[in-house]
Amino acid sequence: MRPPAKTSATGSSRPVHVTGRAPAGAAAGGSASTNWLRSIRFSGFTVLMLIVLVLFVVIVAPGARVFIEQRQQIADLQNNLQSAQTQNSTLTAQVARWSDPAYIRAEARERLYFVMPGETSFLVLNDTAPNATGSSAPVSTSIQSTRSNWMAALFASGMTAGLSNQTPDQLGAATPAPADPATPAPATPAPTPAPTQ
């Protein structure tokens, strides 16, 4: 009597021969790893697909790289063109303004302080309002101490005094402050004559 046919993993009902012997690959441990390579069968379609894949990599990939680089260069050039067109329109507007005589007169008055014949020019220095510098912060009811870096202030003062280009006369060191008329001036001792021999 024959044993019943076993079904394979794919679901086909081909008879699988069962023998009492162990497979030949099981006897040698090193050859078991190469048996899977021998069991691969290449069909004509598989070979054709491998050839197409190799041709794609060899022919199309370098062309695709060049295409991508050229697209990037085109995008950069378009950005440069757009910025150049913006600069061109700005410069064209400036040329149009400078061709107007009224604009030229206004710029000459503002930048170079030119005046028309018969006009008098006045230059106002420090024309800010005195109230503009005051702060509007509320006054505190508690006593506060101001933290200052006196060492840095002392160093800055010494450096400013040491690097000044002004003469002592200009700084006011040569002329003493006027004395108060109510307080008497200190008496200066009379010069003593030199002894004679």
174 pLDDT band (50/70/90 cuts)?
Answer: very low
Cβ atoms < 10 Å from Cβ of 32: 13
pTM of the model: 0.34
pLDDT for the residue 107 = 93
Q: What value does the mean pLDDT take over residues 108-127?
A: 87
Q: How many residues does the chain have?
A: 197
pLDDT for the residue 130 = 64
Instruction: Look at 86 and 123; give whichever has higher pLDDT.
Output: 86
Q: What is the 3-state secondary structure (H, E, C) of the chain?
A: CCCCCCCCCCCCCCCCCCCCCCCHHHHCCCCHHHHHHHHCCCCHHHHHHHHHHHHHHHHHHHHHHHHHHHHHHHHHHHHHHHHHHHHHHHHHHHHHHHCCHHHHHHHHHHHHCCCCCCCCCCCCCCCCCHHHHCCCCCCCCCCCCCCCCHHHHHHHHHHHHHCCCCCHHHHCCCCCCCCCCCCCCCCCCCCCCCCCC
Q: Tell me the C-alpha distance between 102 and 108, whole Å.
A: 10
Q: What value does the mean pLDDT take over residues 28-49?
A: 74
pLDDT for the residue 30 = 55
Q: What value does the mean pLDDT take over residues 73-84?
A: 97
Specify the range with the lowest mean pLDDT, choosing from 53-57, 87-91, 135-139, 181-185.
Answer: 181-185
Q: Tell me the C-alpha distance between 106 and 114, whole Å.
A: 9
Instruction: Look at 103 and 124; give whichever has higher pLDDT.
Output: 103
pLDDT for the residue 25 = 46
Rounded mean pLDDT of the chain?
76
